[in-house]
Structure 1
Amino acid sequence: MSPSPPLPSTPPTTVEDLVRTRLSTALGGWRGLLDSAAPALAFLVSWLVTHDLKVSVGASLAVLLVALVARIARRETLQHALGGILTTAVAAFIASRTGRAQDVFLPGILLNLGLAVLFALSMLARWPVVGFLVGAVTEDPTAWRRDKGIVSLCQKLTGLLLAGYVVRAAVQLPLYLSGNTTALAISKLALGWPLLVAGIAIAGLMLLKGNTPLAPSADPEPVAEV
């Protein structure tokens, strides 16, 4: 596995710089997001074309295998590609047991509902989930709590993600209960990458345009080794 991405040549001087750097490291950048989402996207496209559960699961697994082989060949970390294995395996297992194609979408719907509750509770407690992502790549995972600016920004970013989970669950749960698999697949596509890209664009604007100085007591911690 490859080492953690190198730190910037100059330490972050603003809250936005620090959060942007830490999130990029924690999430693996665009490549990590793509590797995590590609198997589900392959399943959806295959289902819309074939309406065959086995073929769609096979397409998802094939894309996942390609991502794993590519990362192994480049001696890169597998953690982001492996993230798609669990969701794909659980969805395929449930659908194979029930024989209902719409059950492939059940884990995703439940995950969105669970994350919506988790993110909402974290915001109410002023311990936003995004803050833990910021701290996860440092030697002190709660150091971000010492800077009110970081806490405030993480609250906003957590709220942005929460909105996406709520929208997905609100649209897809009724479709699942009605057994409308085709509409579920379309909504999954429409509310998947497009909504994710829109959220990242909004978050990017927040992180690029903001200029909140870091508090003296919140000096950047070194990134932890993976």
Structure 2
Amino acid sequence: MTAESHDAPTEETVEAVVRKQLSKALGGVRGMIEAAVPTILFTVVFLTVHELKPALIVSLGAAGILLVVRIVQRSTVQFAVNALVGIGIGALFAWRSARGGGDAGDQALAYFLPGILYNAGYAVVMILSIVTKWPIVGFIVGSVTGDPTAWRQDPQIVKLCRNLTWLLVMPCVLRVVVQAPLYVAGKQGMADKDFMVGMLGTAKIALGWPLQVAALLAMVYVLSRNHTPVRPESRTS
């Protein structure tokens, strides 16, 4: 066995590489559940008691428990930590709303604002990466092959990465398109604030992991149609 064979990636095609990396990025079913549960609890508790503090305590507590379980099981804590940080940022926005004189409805609405801003920012970055012909998914390929930019030398790989990045960006765009008007309607008094909080909570859950799974399935479909070698030159050597 030569030294060159040790350096070759175990995946034979770009599609296999991307499939593996995307699965890790999403965290599987468990990672998606860990992201959804705190939001469900926050929404249910707030709409039940109409107070922000108990809703935050319950959602933060749930995220903390999920994190402890991960630690005890010695499994990756990435997705539990992500959920905890997300709730913490939402709580900070809600606290600032309270200091600014906002009522309980305003505070609860503020809890959802960071997620809307995050998705908007993420969408802008990914769309810019496509426009500049440096699609984000390309760097996933580069991280596995060991050369972060070599993939750009193959137009076929660039095209594949561009299409996959579009599939990644669409859920972010849809979340902003749906949730931003709900937030504005509640904040501007165009609709009942508690109702808008419920709608935002429902939208965040419905457009969270279910939409991400749909995007992943679309990616799997795209990946199943092509077989692009990771190292085309190795096929001819």
Fold shared per TM-score above 0.5: yes
Q: Which has the higher helix share?
A: 2
**1:86-116 deviations in Å (ceiling 9; x for gaps):** 2111101111221321001110111111111
Instruction: Summarize the Cα distance change of 1:30–1:183 in structure 2 as closer, same or farther, 3 Å threshold.
Output: closer
- Amino acid of the structure 2 residue aligned with 1:205: Y
- Aligned counterpart, 1:201: 217
Instruction: Summarize the Cα distance change of 1:42–1:218 in structure 2 as closer, same or farther, 3 Å threshold.
Output: farther
Mean Cα displacement is larger for which, 185-194 or 112-121?
185-194
CA contact (8 A) 2:18 2:140 kept: no
- Aligned counterpart, 2:18: 19
The Cα of 1:27 is off from its aligned counterpart by: 4.3
TM-score calculated relative to the size of structure 2: 0.76
Q: Which has the higher contact order (CA 8 A, sep 6+)?
A: 1
- Amino acid of the structure 2 residue aligned with 1:178: A
* CA distance in 2 between partners of 1:42 and 1:83 (Å): 16
* CA distance in 1 between partners of 2:132 and 2:90 (Å): 32
- Amino acid of the structure 1 residue aligned with 2:206: A
Identical counterparts, % of pairs:
44
- Aligned counterpart, 2:125: 118
RMSD of the alignment, in Å? 2.5
Q: Greater Rg, structure 1 or structure 2?
A: 2
Choose which of 133, 140, 151 in structure 2 pairs with 1:133: 140
Runs of 4 or more off by more than 6 Å in structure 1?
Answer: none
TM-score calculated relative to the size of structure 1: 0.79
CA contact (8 A) 1:144 1:218 kept: no
- Amino acid of the structure 1 residue aligned with 2:16: D
Aligned pairs for 1:58-207 within 5 A: 58-99=57-98, 100-136=107-143, 139-179=146-186, 180-207=196-223
CA contact (8 A) 2:130 2:165 kept: yes
CA contact (8 A) 2:17 2:144 kept: no
| Count of residue pairs the alignment pairs up | 209
Which sections of structure 2, spanning at least 5 residues, go unmatched?
1-8, 99-106, 187-195
- Amino acid of the structure 1 residue aligned with 2:121: G
**1:95-142 deviations in Å (ceiling 9; x for gaps):** 122132100111011111111111110100111122233444564333
Instruction: Summarize the Cα distance change of 1:116–1:11 in structure 2 as closer, same or farther, 3 Å threshold.
Output: same
